[in-house]
């Protein structure tokens, strides 16, 4: 079941938080920046993984670590964007609907295989990713709508406000 809410996704009680990034993301804006500030070890682990394996657009990279309150937190990084340029000057490109679809399909597979009970997402790939939510929302509903778990989509960001999940 998909539930659309307003609030701060960082306060979500969902078992997994998912968000969109690029293969060589700098985690320097939006939700990615907030995640980097809260879980800097995730970004270090991601950078190590990106250097070890060629992370490709359309795939996911999942990280689990310890939250500030001592609990475990799982973050699914969805590679919805590619890169433009190369080397140190490379920057995230805009997301594509094709990449979003592949990521959501892989996320659904992961959630099933790990028996995850809930997942929280923002309006995926609509910030830095540059896509229109009206085009992304049907993909989200197609791939995550029939999972039989709580899927919480944060349509409106409200800093410091816990959503009614």
Query: Which are the contacts of 113, defined by CB distance < 8 A and separation ≥ 6?
Result: none
In a domain, 14, yes or no: yes
Number of domains in the chain: 1
- Tell me the β-bridge partners of 83: 92
**Which residue range forms the structural domain that includes residue 107?**
2-157
Which pLDDT does position 101 carry in this prediction? 97
The answer to whether position 111 is within a domain reads yes
* Confidence (pLDDT) at 23: 80
Has residue 126 been placed in a domain? Answer: yes
Q: Is residue 165 part of a domain?
A: no
| Per-residue pLDDT at 116 | 96
pLDDT computed for residue 35 by the predictor: 83
Domain CATH number, residue 140: 3.40.220.10
> Considering the domain boundaries, does residue 164 fall inside one?
no
> Is 34 a domain residue?
yes
Residue 163, domain member (yes or no): no
Written as one string, the DSSP assignment of 23-83 is: TT----SHHHHHHHHH-HHHHHHHHHHHHHS---TT-EEEEEEE-TTS-EEEEEEEE-EEE
Specify the pLDDT at position 71.
67
pLDDT score of 107? 98
Q: What are phi and psi of 135, to 5 degrees?
A: -90, -30
Question: What pLDDT shows up at residue 68?
Answer: 66
pLDDT of res. 69: 66
> Model pTM?
0.90
- How does pLDDT run along the chain (165 residues), one tens digit per residue? 899 999 999 999 999 999 998 887 777 878 887 888 888 888 888 888 887 777 899 999 999 987 666 667 899 999 999 878 776 777 788 999 999 999 999 999 999 999 999 999 999 999 889 999 999 999 999 999 999 999 999 999 899 899 988
């Amino acid at each position: 079941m998909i539930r659309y809410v307003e609030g701060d996704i960082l306060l979500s009680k969902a078992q997994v938080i998912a968000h969109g990034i690029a293969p060589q993301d700098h985690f320097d804006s939006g939700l990615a920046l907030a995640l980097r500030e809260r879980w800097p070890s995730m970004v270090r682990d991601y950078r190590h993984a990106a250097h070890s394996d060629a992370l490709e657009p359309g795939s996911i990279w999942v990280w689990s670590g310890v939250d500030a309150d001592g609990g475990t937190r799982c973050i699914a990084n969805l590679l919805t964007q590619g890169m433009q340029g190369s080397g140190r000057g490379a920057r995230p490109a805009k997301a594509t609907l094709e990449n979003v679809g592949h990521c959501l399909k892989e996320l659904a597979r992961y959630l099933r295989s790990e028996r995850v009970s809930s997942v929280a997402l923002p309006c995926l790939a609509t910030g830095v990713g540059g896509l229109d939510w009206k085009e992304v929302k049907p993909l989200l509903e197609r791939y995550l709508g029939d999972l039989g778990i709580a899927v919480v989509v944060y349509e409106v960001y409200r800093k410091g406000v816990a959503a009614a999940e």
